[in-house]
Structure 1
């Protein structure tokens, strides 16, 4: 079953969405980010939310269906001297609730982000995906993304 786009509301996340967002990330065994629903960790998430909320260049979104948080993603705008000083939107932390995958929620979220980027005159939209997420790679390619760069990370903690 694929949900109608009219059944999916995409809006900016609010602080009261945090428990549902944390649960989404904690349920992701493949991501390996160490997310947890342990109440002792909640202040860490609240601090991060405050930083994102205060930033003019970052926005955290949720996808809502039937009043429930069923997905999330974050956008960041970066401007560089390359491309004659143009700006680009980076899409990060894309997550759809496990029981809701395959219903068009991920596509609705990505299409929303692309429309936002176009509306703001961005030069491009970029995202990264864990190398192990082969299904996600096929999904992004179906939406028109091309694998063009090789990314590197270094853990500092």
Structure 2
């Protein structure tokens, strides 16, 4: 049975496992930027993230086993002369276990994040996708997301 919920501290080992999968993709695609065999967060950092209401983490479980996650961050864009005063829910990281892909887990997580953001009155949901991962970009576009900003670089 599939369930979607906020992550708990008992989920930290599964989150670490999935964080390794994400980093592996990034390290293979951009070894000049990403260090292999590590994760974005360690167990202590994950504990602090899970305790912070501004950084909700959601998981999708099949038979109580974590198959995917979405790390989110509430961002307040205070209005000024140029920008509107809006609340954004930024998806900092999203992953579906490589063994569980193509089972609509990513879409289920994304829909859960959208519902959460709507309930809290957010104006939009945003995320960044690395150009080294065109499959992820195509997936997000299939969900109706559209690019709103593109980062550029020149490697020296």
What is the TM-score of this pair, normalised by structure 1? 0.81
Deviations 1:59-112 (A, max 9, x none): 111110012110011111111123542211001210000011011000000011
Instruction: Identify which range, 139-148 or 48-57, moves more after superposition.
Output: 48-57
Give distance in 2, aligned partners of 1:22 and 1:128: 20
Q: Unaligned regions of 5+ residues in structure 2, if any? A: 28-33
Q: Unaligned regions of 5+ residues in structure 1, if any? A: 1-6
2:9 corresponds to which residue? 15
Q: Does residue 150 in structure 1 map to residue 144 in structure 2?
A: no
Deviations 1:133-153 (A, max 9, x none): 111111101111001202369
Give distance in 1, aligned partners of 2:55 and 2:112: 15
Equivalent of 2:78 in 76, 81, 90: 81
1:4 corresponds to which residue? none
Q: Does residue 49 in structure 1 map to residue 43 in structure 2?
A: no
1:91 corresponds to which residue? 91
Q: Is the 8 A contact 2:7 2:59 kept in 1?
A: yes
Count the aligned residue pairs. Answer: 142
Query: Counting helix residues as a fraction of each chain, which structure ranks higher?
Result: 1
2:26 corresponds to which residue? 31
Give distance in 1, aligned partners of 2:53 and 2:19: 24
Q: Counterpart of 2:139 in 1: which secondary structure?
A: helix
2:119 corresponds to which residue? 119
What is the TM-score of this pair, normalised by structure 2? 0.81
2:59 corresponds to which residue? 62
- The Cα RMSD (Å) is 2.1
Pair 1:152–1:74, CA change in 2 (3 A)? farther
Q: Is the 8 A contact 2:5 2:60 kept in 1?
A: yes
After TM superposition, give the deviation of residue 53 of structure 1 in Å: 2.3
